[in-house]
Amino acid sequence: MSSRAIRGRLLSFRQRPAGRDDIGAYSYVEDGLILVDADGRIAFSGTYDASKIPAGVAVDDHRPNLICAGFIDPHIHFVQMQVVGSYAANLLEWLNSYTFIEEQRFSDPEHGSRIASAFFDELIRQGTTTASAFCSVHPESVDAYFAEAMKRNMAMAGGKVMMDRECPEELRDSAERGYEESSDLIAKWHGKGRNSYVISPRFAITSSPAQLAVTRVLRDEHPDLLLQTHVNENRDEIKKAGELYPDYPTYLGIYADYGLLGPKSLMGHSIHYKPHELDMMRESGAVAVSCPTSNLFLGSGLYDLAQADRNGIRSAVATDIGGGTSYSMLRTMDEFYKVQQLKGGRLDPVSSFWFLTAGNAEALGMEADIGRIEAGKFADLVVLDARAVPSMAIKMERVERLEEELFMLQTLGDDRCIAETYVAGVPMKSALSL
């Protein structure tokens, strides 16, 4: 039984495009129809056909706007909403001067709930329907995050950061506490609603060898879970990790030795690799999660997508709020594009939209449920208006092809282009009290 019908231009990806003209990589329906079943999944998607719409089901008509699978942000810090735009010379100064101060406030459950509510409102405003978030060290922050995700029926991933050294006392757990709190949170939240728990050792600097060892135990006990961390983001960070783990010739080698590298590992930033680390990334099947606005803002470096592709390394693209400077995945993709320009690479706009949807879904291992407009997937959708502001409307007068429209959305677009965000078939953006 259909609970909703949605009409508009539909774009969905089958695979990563080989280039701008790879029309076999996606399906595009000029006048499309999506029928949503009572569970929020897509019952039908294809060419508009009024006879398919059951009696009594109203149609949300979004023509001439474009409908894609909802955007997916595979690396974001929900506890850093009030850190965004903090003036610092580099990553380590930024962490010590602002981030490690701000995250202390999440020992207060009320603060966590207030920020979680603002955070989810913002994701919806930006067309992001799934994210993988780092919470703070406090279990209360994870409770706030997943409780809010369940209220909105969103497919959200995340976990408590484990950190037991090189940070203020108030943010330290211990190897044992990190293990126990993570285990309890997994039992409490993983698989509840659409929630996925992510094992989250912050990075090797703030995790002692004992903590990385218990992280391995957690992994072995929960082989189906994702793991997220940071690596090779900044030259000083790499140097410090090397000083704290002097037996390891490479930063990535630390994680590999503790059994933390595999196809479910989301390696945030992944900018400055030594040749052997490229081999480790490829052989393990880990995902390099690039965070372009953050890397530019903190002066961390330029991610080389062509190098990753040449080496058979999986890539994903994320905001990294609050090192990142925009919640918008469109703005993020614009900066990712510019970074590839500086690296002498090419990134066509069709591939960009694959990253934003099916590509990032595959990175999270969630491709069975999200990332495509297809029968059986959740109706997590974004409606994109390429004429949302006068400057875009005037440019659109000269746009003839889908690829040009996508490129314009990426280059000039932001939350103003998000005409609607659907979560499991329910319109969420129009329901926000702005």
* Identified binder of ligand GUN from the candidate list 4, 202, 387, 429, rule CB under 6 A: 202
Q: How far apart are CB 324 and Zn ion at their closest, in Å?
A: 8
Q: In whole angstroms, what is the distance from residue 77 CA to residue 13 CA?
A: 28
- Vertex 162 angle, CA 301 and 150, to 5°: 95
**Contact map string, positions 15 to 54, toward ligand GUN, x by CB under 6 A:** ----------------------------------------
When CB distances are held under 5 to 8 angstroms depending on the partner's kind, the choice from ligand GUN, Zn ion, none that residue 99 binds is ligand GUN
Identity of the residue, 34 or 289, whose beta carbon is nearer to Zn ion in the bound complex:
289
Q: 408 near 399, Cβ under 8 Å?
A: yes
Q: Map residues 321-360 to x or -, x wherever contact with ligand GUN holds by CB under 6 A.
A: --x-------------------------------------
Q: Least distance in Å: CB of 233 to ligand GUN?
A: 5
Task: Describe the crossing of helices 175-189 and 209-221 by its angle, rounded to 10 degrees.
Answer: 30
For residue 107, the minimal CB distance to ligand GUN (Å) is: 17
Question: Rounded to 5 degrees, what are φ and ψ at 115?
Answer: -70, -35
Establish how many alpha carbons lie within 13 A of residue 410's alpha carbon, considering only the half-sphere containing its beta carbon: 24
**Residue (of 341, 262, 348, 238) closest to 296 by Cα position:** 341
77 binds ligand GUN (CB under 6 A): yes
248 CB neighbour count, 10 Å cutoff: 16
Contact between 178 and ligand GUN (CB under 6 A)?
no
Q: Using alpha carbons, select from 402, 345, 429 the residue that is nearest to residue 22.
A: 402
Region of residue 317 (left: phi > 0; alpha: psi -120 to 50; beta: else): beta
> Taking CB under 6 A as the rule, does residue 99 contact ligand GUN?
yes
Quick check: 314 binds ligand GUN (CB under 6 A)? no
User: Out of 140, 173, 233, 334, which residue is the one contacting ligand GUN (CB under 6 A)?
Assistant: 233
Q: Please tell me the distance from the alpha carbon of residue 354 to that of residue 406, in angstroms, as a whole number.
A: 11
- The least CB distance from residue 360 to ligand GUN, in Å, is 18
With CB under 5 to 8 Å by kind, the binding choice for 73 among Zn ion, ligand GUN, none is none
Q: Which range of residues in 91-99, 255-263, 347-355, 367-375 is near ligand GUN by CB under 6 A?
A: 91-99
User: Is residue 189 part of the contact set for ligand GUN (CB under 6 A)?
Assistant: no
Site mask, Zn ion, residues 239-278, x = CB under 5 A?
A: -----------------------------x----------
What residues make contact with Zn ion under the rule CB under 5 A? 268, 320
What residues make contact with ligand GUN under the rule CB under 6 A? 77, 91, 95, 99, 202-203, 230, 233, 294, 320, 323
